[in-house]
Amino acid sequence: MNITKEMPDKYQVQLTIEVDADKLSKAKKTAAKNLSNRVNIPGFRKGKAPMEVIERHVGKQTLMDETAEILIQDAATEALKEEKLSPVDDIDYEVVTNEDGKNFVFKMKFTPRPEVKLGDYKGLTIEKTVEEVTDADVDKQIEVLRDHHAILTDAAPDDAIVNGDFITLDFDGYMNDVKFEGGEGRSHPLTIGSGTFIPGFEEQLIGAKVGDELDVKVTFPEEYHEEKYAGKPATFKCKILSLKHRQLPELNDEFAAKASAFKTVEELKDNVRKNMIAAAENAAIERQHQDLIDKIADGITVDIPPVMVEEQIDKMIRERELQLQANGLSLEQYFQQSGHAMDDWRESLREDAEQSVRISLMLEAVAEAEKITVDDQDYRYEVAVLAATYGIPPKEIQKIIRKERQGALLVSNALRRKVISFLVTNNIKPPVEKKPVEEKPVEKKPVEEKPVEEKPVEEKPVEEKPVEEKPVEEKPSEEK
């Protein structure tokens, strides 16, 4: 097999591969056998018709196309291995020569995984910054808990809308005094201050009362998902239908007992503070690890192909779409609420996508440099993680993996996890300053200083000074 390598552009590679004619002849026989097992030929059992009959029945072109698929599958795999190339996008195949008695020639064009030159990835210093939990932070969290237990009460007839109120309203949107499509709503629920409407809309409703009709004037965001409305002014004719106030429960021991497992407000606050401190510590560790990964990734030398970034953006959008669907929203609804357009959204994701690709390339390079691999135990761990996440038995998870052909993805996740663990171990040491406090308790020192007790007995046996030496006798009582 002969391979010719070309670079059509900065990022793509084209391999022209020539396979010997004798392999084409063997592949043609295999192709005929495969076809004879799939088609019904009168007078022959499946798999038993000779190649000449198969060729007459399905046509020569069909037989040669089947032959090409067989040759390409084997030759392409061998060529990639020989050239040490790994495609990061779909391969574009082109058959050049596929005739009996001639060498089979085809081309394959793709974007290969770029070469990565690692920078420093061991012995780095990454600081951990733990955010302080203040009384104000605790109070804020308590207010969130109170808000969660708030109840809606009917407003008095003359009550005006204030921030946080829940209302229903009718509205019709106009542009240049013409009602526009999709700009109307009937008995629409809205929490004032939620930010679910176009910026500036909700604020203009504050002060209105039930039954009031008012015009709300806004300007659609420049990045609004429907270009025909983006950046344009509009007027919404609104009518307030109902108003309810949010009533927060009084912060007392009764509330604490009702909203938590604690009997008093102080106990509740202590628990909230404890949880917030633990969360702050965990968040600090996560940031430290992420800072480490980012620092190592920023230190690599690589020219990232644009197709890798675009594919990562596609992946991020798909993940976001699944999250939205879980909350009962479609992408279209998300665009309506956020005011974003797809092109603008993709562009806003670009920087994060590029960093994500850079990190993936770095982790793969470290795995190769350190010869880190995935074994059965690592694979089973990933299965267990999925099983715990979705509440499905591991055996069922494995069936799904096989059915969806997601085994390679699990191996990739396991490898990523192992490499990150390796990097953390080789850069972030356990907090040494905490261990001595735990491992050298005060009790140990008196044990080492026990000989001090012997000195007063041997060197100062005089009983006339018992008052001064009584403290020495107290120490043994502490050491018992």
pLDDT in tens, 390-424: 888 999 989 888 888 888 888 999 999 999 999 99
Q: Return the higher-pLDDT residue of 457 and 271.
A: 271
Q: Looking at the predicted structure, is the pLDDT value of residue 448 above 50?
A: no
Question: For position 474, what pLDDT does the model report?
Answer: 40
Q: What is the pTM of this model?
A: 0.69
Task: Return mean pLDDT, the chain.
Answer: 87
Contacts of 386 (CB under 8 A, 6+ apart): 392, 397, 410
Confirm or reject CATH 3.20.19.10 for domain 266-425, answering yes or no: no
Question: What distance in Å separates the CA atoms of residue 207 and residue 352, rounded to the nearest whole number?
Answer: 42
CA 218 remoteness from chain centre = 35
Q: CATH number of the domain at 2-110, out of 3.40.50.300, 3.40.50.970, 3.30.70.1050, 3.40.50.1820?
A: 3.30.70.1050
- Confidence bin at 81 (pLDDT 50/70/90): very high
* Chain segment 126-176, per-residue pLDDT in tens: 999 999 999 999 999 999 999 899 999 999 989 999 999 999 999 999 999
CATH class of 151-247: alpha beta
Locate the domains of the chain by residue range.
Answer: 2-110, 151-247, 266-425, 444-479
Question: What distance in Å separates the CA atoms of residue 276 and residue 269, rounded to the nearest whole number?
Answer: 10
Q: Do residues 154 and 241 touch, judged by C-beta distance below 8 A? A: no
For Cα atoms 115, 121, 123, give the angle at the middle one, nearest 5 degrees.
Answer: 165
Question: For position 431, what pLDDT does the model report?
Answer: 64
| Sequence letter at residue 386 | L
- Confidence bin at 451 (pLDDT 50/70/90): very low
The DSSP bridge partners found for residue 217 are 235
Q: Return the higher-pLDDT residue of 468 and 429.
A: 429
Question: For position 478, what pLDDT does the model report?
Answer: 41
- Confidence bin at 91 (pLDDT 50/70/90): very high
Q: Looking at the predicted structure, is the pLDDT value of residue 437 above 70?
A: no
